[in-house]
Amino acid sequence: MAHGFAAERSFGLKPYAERFVQNGLAVMTFDYRCFGDSEGSPRNLVDPFRHIEDWKAAVAHARGLEAVDGNRIGLWGSSFSGGHVIVTAARDPDISAISIQVPFVDSISTISKLGLKFLFKASIHGMRDLFRIMTLRKPHYIRVIGRPNEFAAMNTPESYPGYSALIPKDSKWENRCPARILLTFALYRPIASAKKVKCPALVILAEKDSLISAKAVEKTAMAIENSELVKYPAGHFDLYAGQLFEDAVKRQVEFFQGYLNT
């Protein structure tokens, strides 16, 4: 298990992990390099292609643990990491099952939701950070989350309160990431890998998601050969607590038990 855009494993993953463990599943959560308990610099560097490498390394490590059956490995991802899980499973035919909730699947559809004004500002910030890389200077940072009147990687009305609610009070996490992600983001389209996923997939869609296109998620689910699509009348951050969490985690427990405990 790993988290989404610029997030750490301490941001709301524990309740899911605990529920999985209570139901007989071994769980390993990890932070991407440059985040949380992992080393790496610059801190909070969001790079989906590095994240994919980290997923590959995490799977290899889990398979090497004596207490784990390496032939029964499941992957769980939410938001940005939902896309990473798709790509990882597409490249590893030995993955047994994947569960992805509110998954990021397509940069093009997400950019379309955010609009041309956002794209213009993102390009300027991204180029500024790129110039600083070329001149060997410290990164140019942007906010990870912001309110609608602030520029940030995520600044829809639900983004700031929804994301903030996941951050532990004692967290040292900083609300910023190098702006270069705004340039590489457009190149990342997990939907293109969906047809290569051969293991069973549980796909959970939030119909009121302000960041991710519901149509793109539906299209991704249809492209995966053996997938189950579940829809909730919810926003992007609503599945981490309350009754929606209870329902979603129950579905995911049953899904993983069905394919990992056989």
Instruction: Compute the distance between CA of residue 4 and CA of residue 188 in angstroms, rounded to an integer.
Output: 14
**Given the structure tokens 């855009």, which residue do they identify?**
5
**Per-residue pLDDT at 34:** 98
Chain CA centroid to CA 128, Å: 26
Assigned CATH class of 14-260: alpha beta
List the structure tokens of 76.
């769980």
Q: Where are the domains of the chain?
A: 14-260
**Per-residue pLDDT at 113:** 84
Instruction: Compute the distance between CA of residue 97 and CA of residue 220 in angstroms, rounded to an integer.
Output: 16
3-state secondary structure of 224: coil
For the chain, 262 residues long, give each residue's pLDDT as a single digit of tens: 999 999 999 999 999 999 999 999 999 999 999 999 999 999 999 999 999 999 999 999 999 999 899 999 999 999 999 999 999 999 999 999 999 999 999 998 988 888 888 999 999 999 999 999 999 999 999 999 999 999 999 999 999 999 999 999 999 999 999 999 999 998 999 999 999 999 999 999 999 999 999 999 999 999 999 999 999 999 999 999 999 999 999 999 999 999 998 6
3-state secondary structure of 201: strand
Residues β-bridged to residue 206? 232
Instruction: Compute the distance between CA of residue 143 and CA of residue 3 in angstroms, rounded to an integer.
Output: 18
Instruction: Compute the distance between CA of residue 116 and CA of residue 229 in angstroms, rounded to an integer.
Output: 30
